[in-house]
Amino acid sequence: MPLRVQHVHGPRSMRCAATDLIALSVVKDGELHIRSFLEHHFALGVAHVVILLNDSNDRTEEIAAQYERVTILRCSWPYRLYEVPMKRYLVRRFANRRWSLFVDVDELFDYPGRDRVSLRQLVEYLDAHRYTAVVAHMLDMFSDGPLACVRSAPEDRLWEHHRRYDISMIDRQLYRWSALSEPAVKLYVGGIRLAAFGTRNWLTKAPLVKAVSGVVPFVEWHQVHGAQIADFTGLLLHYPFVEGFASKVDEAVAARRYTSAGDEYLRYAQVLKSRSELVLSRSPSLQLDSIDQLVESGFLVVGPGYSAFSAKSPPASDGGSLAKRHV
């Protein structure tokens, strides 16, 4: 892998404190997401972002290179065969023996109590309790109106245009990959994609992981083995339904890009062709105004230990940040 990865932009290595968090992502044609992705995670407190462009041909590189604290790499190996090796390579190279946040370009990470607990304090809490991973649930976000009528631009702040969500069709199953500190942490399956496309997508990942001995990330693509899972769940705001979603689906099916989700993309393509006026926003959907909604509804888990910790923490100094304002 090191011989196949080309350095394109930014520092080849970075000097970060033990409590600094590095975000990592493998990206293909992410120009409609990359600005929101970077602005959100930098506002959240991420110290540096490393992007590995894979078969990407749009303006992602040009846009990302405008930001400080961004490193851009390229690799042409086929994603469907080398998804896990590419991701593990980034962790080994940039986050060995430290915490990293691995997120797709259409995902924005968040966590309960963020208005009181800074990202650095969150890492300190995880280390103090010897946790080595945080499980997060994907929340598919969408807009009103037909999916085919959605219009998007690289300058969009995605959270301003896609504010609806639907958790009415989520099945909770046992999380079986690592040791749980809080039994309420589960694997989520279904959601709006089950309602709209009939697919049983896994909505749970382990994106925040400390790469120490015995911890194996990207097991079954998105889970972690050998970790001690924290007593709260994070949030991955997921924005796949931008303009061009149907074209992306067709391209992914034709190229067989996703080994882990090939059948799901086939189903997306079938439904989109048969239902040209598909509308995701229906009667059970809600508008997301605060992450507290997701805690109160039980979508996010907050164990007693983390609840007490966040309650006694003073308000975060970046209380007016982008990350705080957008939900």
Decide if 161 is inside a domain.
Answer: yes
Q: How far apart are the first and last CA of the chain?
A: 38
Q: What pLDDT score was predicted for residue 321? A: 44
51/320: higher pLDDT: 51
Q: What pLDDT score was predicted for residue 260? A: 66
Give the chain's domain count: 1
Decide if 298 is inside a domain.
Answer: yes
Q: What pLDDT score was predicted for residue 257? A: 80
Q: Locate tokens 């932009």: which residue? A: 9
263/89: higher pLDDT: 89
Q: Is the pLDDT of residue 177 over 90?
A: yes
Decide if 305 is inside a domain.
Answer: yes
Decide if 198 is inside a domain.
Answer: yes
Tell me what the mean pLDDT of segment 292-297 comes to: 97
Decide if 1 is inside a domain.
Answer: no
Tell me what the mean pLDDT of segment 218-224 comes to: 97
Q: What pLDDT score was predicted for residue 322? A: 46
Decide if 204 is inside a domain.
Answer: yes
Which tokens hold the place of 77? 């190996």
Q: Is the pLDDT of residue 180 over 80?
A: yes
| 3-state SS string for the chain | CCCCCEEEECCCCCCCCCCCCEEEEEECCCCCCHHHHHHHHHHHCCCEEEEEEECCCCCHHHHHCCCCCEEEEEECCCHHHHHHHHHHHHHHHHCCCCEEEECCCCEEEECCCCCCCCHHHHHHHHHHCCCCEEEEEEEECECCCEHHHCCCCCCCCHHHHCCEECCCCEEEEECCCCEECCCCCEEEEECHHHHHHCCCCECEEEEEEECCCCCEEEECCCEEECCEECCECEEEEECCCCCCHHHHHHHHHHHCCCCCCHHHHHHHHHHHHHCCCCECCCCCCEECCCHHHHHHCCCCCECHHHHHHHHHCCCCCCCCCHHHHCC
Band of pLDDT at residue 314, cut at 50, 70 and 90: confident
Pairing of the two strands 133-140 and 204-210: antiparallel
Band of pLDDT at residue 319, cut at 50, 70 and 90: very low
Q: How far apart are CA 180 and CA 103, in angstroms?
A: 22
Band of pLDDT at residue 316, cut at 50, 70 and 90: low
Question: What percentage of residues in the chain have a pLDDT greater than 90?
Answer: 88
Q: Is the pLDDT of residue 112 over 90?
A: yes
Range of the domain at 118: 6-325
